[in-house]
């Protein structure tokens, strides 16, 4: 016994420290969530403030807010000055609303709806079912339709992470041949706006659920592409708009199990002319033990919507079931690839 633990000696403490940090991860999720929900970074933008002023502006208990700010300062998100005021660091500035790539909406989802979903991971692993539906009695997207405030936060979180992804895709893939790009499940248009801006010869059709399309105009207008883009509301399990020579599905197929994914792809294939192409923008799960965020996103999809992240051959098989042939996979500067396919 003694010998066995000695021979492992040097490794035990660092391993325990690492695991301890990992298992406490939700503390940090909730600390950042509360800062995001209270809008602390917005309040401190441009003007350092003391705890009493912050507590008044956020309607919180000053001594407890102080404890939160002390923890956040320890995490490097804010900084306490010698006069007791706080200011935001570069890290904390990512929580400022509306800044490019802002993470405030994402932090709120992580602390509220997604947090609740992840609380059911054990259920998902035991049953293979989503965790979200038993908790809320609705699918994730029904929940968004029924809760407009959450939907706003979700759309904002998608839009802010999507802009960087769309820029990377626009750099990696040649869209110069496209006349009409249909963005299927395109959210409020953050992805399509970037692609249309970079490709002035193309028109767009933004397609999503009615509650999402209702909030779509502003982003397209502020990108200056609204006059080249139609917005269409619908359900991609029923039908998708015709008239495209490129069908774009960014972060769509990973939301769904295989049967539902094939149903969406078949609806696209149904309206695609023979010379059209279809692009999936997804992260591809690497083989073996290679660490990859895609392996964590895969569980995120399991608990939320019953979807999954997939290997390359799994995308090839799904596309084949919808009479589409995978032609190439183009990596981008971010962890999302362009998976191109053509009608068979
Ligand atoms: C993960 S988001 C991706 C949004 C966007 N493509 C992007 O890359 O940021 C999934 C999108 O699918 C849309 N969606 C979900 N169910 C749908 C349906 N049945 N018909 C049309 N769109 C749907 C959602 O409203 C949401 O905008």
State which ligand 1 atom lies nearest to the alpha carbon of 188: 27
State which ligand 1 atom lies nearest to the alpha carbon of 186: 6
Q: Is 186 in the pocket of ligand 1 (CB under 6 A)?
A: yes
254 part of a folded domain: yes
**Boundaries of domain holding 237:** 158-284+305-343
- What positions carry a catalytic annotation? 254
Tell which of 84, 100, 116 closes a domain: 100
The CATH number for 225's domain is 3.40.50.150
Contact 155, 215 (CB under 8 A): yes
58 part of a folded domain: yes
Burial class (CB in 10 A: 0-12, 13-18, 19+), 336: buried
For residue 33, the CA-to-ligand 1 centroid distance in Å is 24
In this structure, the answer to whether residues 40 and 189 fall within a common structural domain is no
Q: Is 155 in the pocket of ligand 1 (CB under 6 A)?
A: no
For 344, the 3-state DSSP assignment is coil
**What is the number of structural domains in the chain?**
2
pLDDT per residue, tens digit, the chain (344 aa), is 344 444 445 567 899 999 999 999 999 999 999 999 999 999 999 899 999 999 999 999 999 999 999 999 999 999 999 999 999 999 999 999 987 779 999 999 999 999 999 999 999 999 999 999 998 899 999 999 999 999 999 988 988 888 889 999 999 999 999 999 999 999 999 999 999 999 999 999 999 999 999 988 888 999 999 999 999 999 999 999 999 999 999 999 999 999 999 999 999 999 999 999 999 999 999 999 999 999 999 999 999 999 999 999 999 999 999 999 999 999 999 999 999 999 99
In this structure, the answer to whether residues 93 and 178 fall within a common structural domain is no
For residue 75, the CA-to-ligand 1 centroid distance in Å is 34
Q: Is 297 in the pocket of ligand 1 (CB under 6 A)?
A: no
Instruction: Report the alpha-carbon distance of residue 6 to residue 136 in Å, rounded.
Output: 50
**pLDDT for residue 10:** 55
């Amino acid at each position: 016994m003694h010998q066995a633990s000695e021979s492992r000696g040097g490794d035990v403490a660092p391993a325990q420290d690492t695991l301890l940090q990992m298992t406490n991860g939700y503390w940090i999720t909730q600390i950042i969530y509360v800062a995001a929900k209270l809008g602390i970074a917005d309040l401190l933008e441009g003007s350092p403030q003391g705890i009493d002023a912050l507590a008044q502006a956020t309607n919180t208990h000053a001594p407890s807010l102080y404890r939160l700010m002390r923890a956040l300062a320890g995490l490097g998100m804010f900084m306490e000055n010698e006069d007791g005021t706080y200011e935001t660091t570069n890290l904390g500035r990512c929580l400022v609303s509306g800044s490019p790539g802002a993470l405030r909406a994402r932090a709120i989802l992580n602390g509220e709806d997604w947090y609740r979903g992840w609380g059911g991971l054990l259920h998902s692993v035991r049953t293979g079912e989503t965790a979200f539906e038993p908790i809320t009695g609705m699918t994730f997207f029904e929940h968004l339709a029924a809760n407009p405030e959450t939907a706003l936060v979700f759309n904002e979180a998608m839009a802010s992470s999507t802009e960087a992804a769309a820029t990377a895709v626009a750099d990696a893939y040649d869209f110069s041949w496209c006349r009409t790009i249909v963005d299927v499940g395109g959210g409020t248009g953050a992805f399509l706006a970037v692609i249309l801006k970079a490709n002035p010869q193309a028109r767009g059709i933004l397609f999503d659920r009615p509650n999402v399309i209702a909030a779509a105009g502003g982003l397209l207008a502020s990108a200056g592409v609204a006059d080249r883009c139609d917005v269409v509301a619908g359900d991609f399990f029923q039908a998708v708009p015709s008239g495209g020579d490129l069908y774009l599905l960014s972060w769509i197929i990973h939301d769904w199990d295989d049967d539902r994914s094939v149903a969406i792809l078949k609806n696209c294939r149904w309206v695609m002319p023979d010379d059209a192409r279809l692009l999936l923008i997804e992260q591809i799960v690497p083989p073996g033990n290679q660490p990859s965020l895609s392996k964590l996103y895969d569980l995120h999809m399991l608990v939320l919507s019953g979807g999954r992240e997939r290997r390359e051959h799994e995308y090839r098989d799904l596309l084949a079931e919808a009479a589409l042939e995978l032609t190439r996979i183009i990596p981008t500067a971010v962890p999302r690839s362009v998976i191109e396919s053509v009608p068979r």
